[in-house]
Structure 1
Amino acid sequence: MGLRNWSGVVEEDNAYMFEWDLVRTTSGVHVVTRLAEERGMPAGECLAGSGLPVGAAREQYSEVTARQELTVIRNLLARFGDQAGLGLEAGVRHHFSLHGPWGVALLASRTLRDAVQVALRYVELAFAFGELSFEETQGEGRLRFDDREVPEDVRAFLTERVMAGVQIIGRELYSVGVPVLRVDFRHGAPVDIARYRTVFGVEPTFDAPGNELVFDASHLDAVLPQANEWARSTCEQMCRDLLARRRTRSGVAGSVRDLLVRNPGVLPDQSAIAAELYVSPRTLSRRLNEEGTSFRALLDEVRQALSEELLDRTDMTTEQVAARLGYAEAASFIRAFRRWQGCPPQEYRARGRMPALV
C-alpha cells in the first residue's frame, strides 16, 4: 500500500496549530548554543530572556518549551542572522542520538516507509516548529514543511533546520543515504548557496511555492539495516507516553480538557464549556490564549485521544467514530486522523491488530 497524502486541505475547525508551550527536550537549545559559542557568543547571552539556566545549554535531555527555544534562536539570529545557511548548520547536527526514543524508533523501523510514518506520528518530540507532511505520487516521495505558523523572523532558519535534519536522518537510516532529486524553499536565496549544494547534493530552488524535499519513492520499501521490531514498538510506546505526559494540561486549559472528556457521549462546543466555567466565550478564548492554546487546539487533542481509544477498543466503524467525535462527515475525520497518525483510521486499526513479530 502506498503512503497517502497526509497534508490535505482541512476544514477551518481542524486547521493545524503549532503549540508553542508544548514541552520538548533541550536538544535544540543545546545545538543552538553550541553554534553561538563557536562564533564567540557566550551561552548566557544566547539563553538571555528564555528563563533557562546556563546548564540547559549543556544538557540534551532536560525539558523546555518551544517558546523558550524560540527565544534562544532569536538571540542567535540577532548576532549572526546574516550568515548564509545557519539553519543548515543547526540541522546537520540533529543526529539520532539527540532525540531519544523518537530517534531509536526511526532507526529500528523495518523500511523507510515505516520510518516516515513513525516520524510524522510523533513529530512533536523532534525538532520541527511547523507541520511536516508526506505524499507519494508519480514515483516520488515528497516531504513537505508548512512554515505558515512559524514567525517570519525565524522562518528561514527553522525551515532550513528541518530540511537539513531530515537529510541527515536519511543518511543515518541508510549508510549511503537517500539521494535527493530536488529541494525547494519558500524563502529567498542567500548570496552563497555552496553549503546548500553540499548538504543536499543538488542546487535548491528558492522563492518556491512551498518547502519540499523530493526523492525517488523506490527507496520507501527497502529494508533498513538496523530494523528491529521489538525496539521500534518499545520506543513507539515510549513516544506515546512522553506525548501524553507533555500534553497534560493545568489552569483553564486543564478545566476545558476535563469538561470535553467528561461526557463520553458528546463533545460540548465552546459556548457550552464557557457556560460551565461561568465565563463568556470571549473571556474563555482570551484566557486560553494567555496559556498559549485555544479551544480549537484542545478539542483537537481530545478528538485525537478519543479516536485512538475508540479504534483500539471498540468495533465502531469509521463513520460511527467520526459522528461520535462531532464531525459532520467521515471525510473530515479521516483527514484529521491522517494528520494525527500519518495514516487513515482503517490502516491504524489494522496495524494495531496485527500479531506481534518475533
Structure 2
Amino acid sequence: MTSWEWRRSVTNAAILADVAMDHGLALADCLQDTGIDKQLLDTPGAEITAGQEIQLIRNMVNLTDDEWGLGIEAGARTRITTHGVFALAVLSSPTMRSAVDCAMRYFSLMTSFARAWHEHVGNEVHMYVDDSEIPKDVRGLCGERDMAALLMNWVLVFGVPPPVLRGEVGGGLRERALPILEEFGIPCTEAVGPHLAVFDATDLDKPMPQASPLNALLFEEQCADLLQRRGLQHGFAGSVREVLLHSLNGKISQEDVAASLHMSLRTMRRRLAEEGTSYRRLCTETFGNLAEELLATGLTVEDVAFRMGYSGAPSFSNAFKHWRGISPGRYARGVTDRVRSAGT
C-alpha cells in the first residue's frame, strides 16, 4: 500500500481548484474533507500532503460525475515554472537529453502521483508511467493532467512539439486521453501494462538555450534536498543512485552497494527489476550523465577524470566509452560544435 503522507506544492491543488470553479463548482465543496484552508491556496511556498490533493481530486470527480477533460484543462494550465527549483534544474541543463534525464530523476516534483522511469534505446527514449497505485476513482483525471502537462511543457521548454513517435495508454484510459493525444498528433494504442511514450531522440543532444551546467548541478542538489525534505518516494532506484554518486568513480561493486543498503545482492537486483531498471543501467545513467555535465562546462578530460575520482584520463576515457560508446574528448568537441552552430 502506498502512503500518501508525503508533501507537495499547494500550487497543483490551486490550479485544480481554479478549474473546478470555472466549471461552476463551489470552492467549499471542492475542499470538503481535505483539511486544506482556502487561504493556503494563495500562499506562495505552501505545501499539502499528497492525500489532501487526492481528496480534492476525488471531490471534483464526484461533483462532476467524473467529467472528462477537467484533467487536461488543469494540465494545460500547469507551467514548468510552477515547480520552482525543478524548473531551474531542467532549463539550465546542458542538452535536451540531460534535461529529459533530469526531469525523469525528479518526476515526483511535477504533477504526477505515478511512478516513472525511462530508457535510452538507440535513437529512441522510452518513457514508462505506472499509475496502478493511484486510487482507481481519481486515476482518469490524474492521467489526463499528467499527459497534458508533459506535452504542453515540452513545447515551452524546448520550443518544439514533443517528438513522440507512438504511445500506449493502459487502464482503459486511451479514449479519455484522445483529445490531447490528437492535438499533438500522437498515434496511440490500448495497453495492459504501464503507459508508454516513445520519443525520437535524434535531436536530443542539441544544447539547451539557457544551458548553465554548473548551475544545473546546484539546482539538482536542491531538487534532491527537496525530495528528501518532503518525504517524496523516489523509488528504490533512487537509493541505489545516491550510493553510486557517493562512490563517484563507478568502481564500487554491486555487493558493496547492496551491503550499504543492508540487503542481499539478490534482493537488490529483484527490487531494481521491479522498478524496470538494473544495476548496470543505473551505473550507465548516473556516471554517464555526471561526466557529460562536467564535460559540457568546458573542463578538460583530465579535470573531469580527477573530479570523478579516477587515477587518470585513460581509465576515465575507457569508462566513458563503456557508458556512451564514444570517447570523452569526442563528446566534448561535439558539444562545442553544437554550441557554436547554435550561435551562428
* Alpha-carbon shift at residue 315 of structure 1 (Å): 6.1
Q: Secondary structure at the match of 1:221?
A: coil
Q: Which amino acid aligns with 1:321?
A: V
Worse-matched range after superposition: 183-192 or 106-115: 183-192
Q: Which amino acid aligns with 1:141?
A: V
* Alpha-carbon shift at residue 239 of structure 1 (Å): 0.8
Q: State the match for 1:320 in structure 2.
A: 256
Q: Percent identity?
A: 28
Q: Which amino acid aligns with 2:100?
A: V
Note if contact 1:24-1:64 (Cα within 8 Å) is conserved in structure 2: yes
Note if contact 1:334-1:345 (Cα within 8 Å) is conserved in structure 2: no
* Alpha-carbon shift at residue 218 of structure 1 (Å): 0.9
Which protein, 1 or 2, shows the higher relative CO under an 8 Å CA cutoff with sep ≥ 6?
1
Q: For the residues of structure 2 that align with 1:121 and 1:44, how far apart are their CA atoms?
A: 36
Instruction: Describe the shift of the 1:75–1:236 C-alpha distance in structure 2 as closer, same or farther (beyond 3 A).
Output: same
Note if contact 1:29-1:56 (Cα within 8 Å) is conserved in structure 2: no
Q: For the residues of structure 2 that align with 1:192 and 1:160, how far apart are their CA atoms?
A: 6
1:105 lines up with 2:89 in the alignment: yes
Q: State the match for 2:297 in structure 1.
A: 357
Q: TM-score, normalised to structure 1's length?
A: 0.70
Correspondence 1:44-59 to 2 at 5 A: 44-59=28-43
Q: State the match for 1:34 in structure 2.
A: 18
Give the superposed CA RMSD.
Answer: 3.5
Q: Secondary structure at the match of 2:203?
A: helix
Q: For the residues of structure 1 that align with 2:34 and 2:130, how far apart are their CA atoms?
A: 25
Q: For the residues of structure 2 that align with 1:111 and 1:306, how far apart are their CA atoms?
A: 22
Q: State the match for 2:189 in structure 1.
A: 205
* Alpha-carbon shift at residue 84 of structure 1 (Å): 2.3
Q: For the residues of structure 1 that align with 2:245 and 2:201, how far apart are their CA atoms?
A: 33
* Alpha-carbon shift at residue 53 of structure 1 (Å): 0.3
Q: State the match for 1:348 in structure 2.
A: 286
Q: TM-score, normalised to structure 2's length?
A: 0.73
Q: For the residues of structure 2 that align with 1:122 and 1:203, how far apart are their CA atoms?
A: 27
Q: State the match for 1:130 in structure 2.
A: 114
Q: State the match for 2:133 in structure 1.
A: 149
Q: For the residues of structure 1 that align with 2:238 and 2:122, how far apart are their CA atoms?
A: 36
Q: For the residues of structure 1 that align with 2:78 and 2:94, how far apart are their CA atoms?
A: 22
Q: For the residues of structure 2 that align with 1:298 and 1:131, how far apart are their CA atoms?
A: 8
Q: For the residues of structure 2 that align with 1:207 and 1:337, how far apart are their CA atoms?
A: 18
Note if contact 1:121-1:341 (Cα within 8 Å) is conserved in structure 2: no
Note if contact 1:117-1:343 (Cα within 8 Å) is conserved in structure 2: no
Instruction: Describe the shift of the 1:81–1:219 C-alpha distance in structure 2 as closer, same or farther (beyond 3 A).
Output: farther
Instruction: Describe the shift of the 1:357–1:337 C-alpha distance in structure 2 as closer, same or farther (beyond 3 A).
Output: farther
**1:17-69 Cα distance to aligned partner (Å, 9 max, x none):** 75411111112101110111101112222111110100122235310110010
**1:316-350 Cα distance to aligned partner (Å, 9 max, x none):** 43332223322324745765898699961365346
Runs of 5+ consecutive residues of structure 1 not aligned to the other structure: 1-16, 249-296
How many residues end up aligned between the 2 structures?
Answer: 293
